[in-house]
Amino acid sequence: MISVGLDIGSVAAKGVMLAGNNKFQAVLPTGWSPREAGKNIVKTLLDISGFSRSDIDRIVVTGYGRVALTEAYKAVTEITCHARGIAELYPEVRTIIDIGGQDSKVIRINEKGRVIDFAMNDKCAAGTGRFLQVMANTLGLDVSELAENEDQSQITAINSMCTVFAESEIVSLMARGVSKGGIIAGIHQSVARRVAGMVKRVGLQEKVAFTGGVALNAGVRNALRRELGIDIIVPEVCQFTGALGAALLAREA
């Protein structure tokens, strides 16, 4: 049985292939075409595994770009796939925080990995990877450079929740000579606060896992620990939990 899960996000396309006890994974930028990205991920998985297209029994696709691929593959919501992926990796997790490139979600699951409740923000860039991207750009950094330049000891709170207003706020903080590292710490705090508000709506139940591309950022991870006042689990494969869940659902279908 060879199953593939694809998670076509707004920024990155992720894929996981399960072939018996072997697991292969690949990530590529989504670019302009979610459909092309999906095809390229499958191609990459075949290249690294040595299998051919006809060996794949089933493909499940999830994520923002899944609609573009529904003809060829079964589409499942990200919430279901994340829940399945996390339940496999960490059966003790009851709350999943997923911060992606342009949305954020908080998912409550039961001991069977079933989704009980969730909160989702995909209307407002605040509290998503997009907020970090805009802020990094304003600071003249790549989004991947934010965490390493953070200075927790000089944290400067960003008052505006709105990405657009926060951008102006940061420009004037810089003009006033406020430390860049402290501003970055404030940026991470802003994302954590927004998402902690969503956690409160769903109700905080331990253990908590943090997934999605933004979980790669150590500054946001720490800010989230502080805001929630508890430790959080960050899967090593935090970018791949959705794709893993999709692959498991493909295998189990």
Listed residue (112, 118, 5) closest to 63, CA to CA = 5
Contact 178, 211 (CB under 8 A): no
- Strands 58-62, 74-75: parallel, antiparallel or unpaired by DSSP? parallel
Among ligand SF4, a copy of itself, none, the one that 64 touches (CB under a kind-dependent 5 to 8 A) is none
Decide if residue 163 touches ligand SF4 (CB under 6 A).
yes
Nearer to ligand SF4, 5 or 101 (CB): 101
Q: Which of 162, 171, 230, 253 binds ligand SF4 (CB under 6 A)?
A: 162
Please give the angle made by the CA atoms of 97, 116 and 127, to the nearest 5 degrees: 25
Is the Cα torsion angle 219, 237, 83, 57 positive or negative in sign? positive
Which residue lies nearer to a copy of itself by CB, 79 or 134? Answer: 134
Residue 38 exposed, middle or buried by CB count within 10 Å (0-12, 13-18, 19+): buried
- Shortest reach from residue 25's CB to ligand SF4, in Å: 32
Out of 60, 86, 125, 248, name the contact with ligand SF4 by CB under 6 A: 125
Number of chain residues interacting with ligand SF4 (CB under 6 A): 6
Q: Residue 142 is encoded by which pair of tokens?
A: 């790549």
190 contacts ligand SF4 (rule: CB under 6 A) = no
- What is the closest distance, in whole angstroms, from the C-beta atom of residue 100 to a copy of itself in the complex? 13
Interacting residues toward ligand SF4 by CB under 6 A:
124-126, 162-164
